[in-house]
Amino acid sequence: MNIAIVGATGNVGRIILEVLEKKNFKVDNLYLLASQKSQGSNLKFNGREIKVELLDNFDFSKVNLTFFSAGGKISEKFAAKAAKNSLVIDNSSFFRMDPEVPLIVPQVNSNHMEKVPKNIIANPNCSTAQLVIVLKPLHDLFKIKRVIASTYQSTSGAGKGPMDEMIEQTQAAINNEKITSKNFTKQIAFNAIPHIDSFSEDGYTKEELKMINETKKILDNKIELTTTCVRIPVKVSHAESVNIEFEKSFTLEKIHEVLNSSDGCKVFDKRSDAGYITPIDAEGKNETFISRIREDKSKTNSLNLWIVSDNLLRGAALNAVEIAETYLRMNK
C-alpha cells in the first residue's frame, strides 16, 4: 500500500509514523508531506531516512491512503483533492460534522464506515475519542441520560509551539524572568486556563461544542451532554472528570467488569495513595484509563469517573491508524 502523511513533521504526524511502524502496517511507498518550512528534512521509518516533500506539489494519484494531520485549513484545501484517488483519514475538525463524512472511533461505531461517500473519514477531537470509548459499553448496558464532563487538557493538544511555550514559560518563572504568552490567552505555566479555542455567543468555547456535537454524532444524539474544557501545564495526555446519569441502575462491580473487558479501556482504581492514573502515567500508552470510579450519592443512577488518555496517541494517531485497519478489513 502507498501511503501519504500530510503534516508528517507535526506532533501527531510523527506519532502516526511510529504507530505504522509498531503495527507492521503494510507500506510499499511512504510519502511525508509538509509545508515549505519542513521541506527537505528527513524522518526515520523502519530504519531508513525519508525526505519530507512539499505538500503543494504532491500528486495524490500515487497513493491509496492519506492521513491528514495539519489542521483544518490544510484539510479544507487539499483533502477533497486527495480523496479523488485515495482514502483520506482526517485528524482536523473540518469534516467532522459533515453528514456525508463518518466520524469514527473503531471500538465504538465502526459500522458507520459501511458508506464513505466522499472517500473521507474523520477522526474526532482527542477529548471526544477518549470519552466515547468509555461511554459506549456503559451506554449499551445502562442507557446514558446525561453526561457532565470537565477536561484537563495538555498543551500538546494545541500543537508543538504551545507545548514548547509552556516549557519556556516554566523555565522563565523558575528563573524569575519575564513571561510572555504567544499561543495562550494567559500564562500557562503554573496555571489553568478555562478557554480552549474561540468563544461562541452562548458562552461555550468551540472545543466544548466539539465534544458535545461529536459525542452525539458518534454515540447517540439523544444523550444530554455539557462540558467545560481547561488547558493545564502538562506536556502530553488529557484527563477528564466525568459524571454520568443512567436510565438503569448499576453496580460498581458491573461497571468495573464491563470497562475492563471493553477494547481500548483499562481500569486502574485502587482507592489508595497513587491508586489512580495521571497524565504522565498514560503518556505513550494505547489504553484509555479509568480511575476514581464511584457512585454519585447526590443523584439516582449516577456515576463519577476519572478518564485519562494520551491525546496524541489514543486521541489522534492510534485512532487514525485503527480507522485505516478497520476500513481495510471491512473492504477486503
206-255 pLDDT, tens digit per residue, is 999 999 999 999 999 999 999 999 999 999 999 999 999 999 999 999 99
Q: Which CATH architecture has domain 128-311?
A: 2-Layer Sandwich (3.30)
Grid coordinates belonging to 6: 500530510
The CA distance from 252 to 135, in Å, is 15
Helices (H), the chain: 11-22, 72-83, 106-109, 126-142, 160-174, 206-218, 252-260, 279-282, 318-330
Residue showing cell 502515567: 281
Grid coordinates belonging to 154: 495538555
Query: CA 236, 237, 238: angle at the middle one, nearest 5?
Result: 130
pLDDT digits (tens, 9 = 90+) for 221-235: 999 999 999 999 999
Residue showing cell 464491563: 258
In this prediction, residue 316 carries a pLDDT of: 96
**pTM assigned to the model:** 0.95
CATH number belonging to domain 2-123+316-330: 3.40.50.720
Whether the Cβ atoms of residue 3 and residue 29 lie closer than 8 Å to each other: yes
For the chain, what percent of residues have pLDDT higher than 90?
Answer: 96
pLDDT digits (tens, 9 = 90+) for 131-153: 999 999 999 999 999 999 999 99
In this prediction, residue 37 carries a pLDDT of: 87
Q: What is the mean predicted confidence (pLDDT) over 198-205?
A: 97
In whole angstroms, how far apart are CA 283 and each of 163, 239, 290, 311, 312?
15, 11, 14, 8, 9
pLDDT digits (tens, 9 = 90+) for 26-78: 999 999 999 888 888 999 999 999 999 999 989 999 999 999 999 999 999 99
Give catalytic status of residue 112 as yes or no.
Answer: no
The CA distance from 187 to 48, in Å, is 40
Q: What is the DSSP string of 176-220?
A: T-----SSSSS--TT--BS--SPBPTTS-BHHHHHHHHHHHHHT-
Catalytic residue among 112, 195, 229, 238: 238
By 3-state DSSP, what share of the chain in percent is helix, strand and coil, each rounded to 5? 35, 25, 40
Give catalytic status of residue 126 as yes or no.
Answer: yes
Query: CA 168, 173, 179: angle at the middle one, nearest 5?
Result: 65
Write down the domain spans for the chain: 2-123+316-330, 128-311
CA atoms within 13 A on the CB side of 139: 21
The CA distance from 110 to 102, in Å, is 9
Q: What three-state secondary structure class fits 306?
A: strand
Catalytic residue among 126, 139, 229, 265: 126
- When the pLDDT of each residue in the chain is averaged and rounded to a whole number, the result is 96
- Report which DSSP code applies to 222: T
Q: What is the largest CA-CA distance in the chain?
A: 60
How many helices (H) and strands (E) would you count in the chain? Answer: 9, 13
How far is CA 41 from its chain centroid?
26
In this prediction, residue 118 carries a pLDDT of: 98
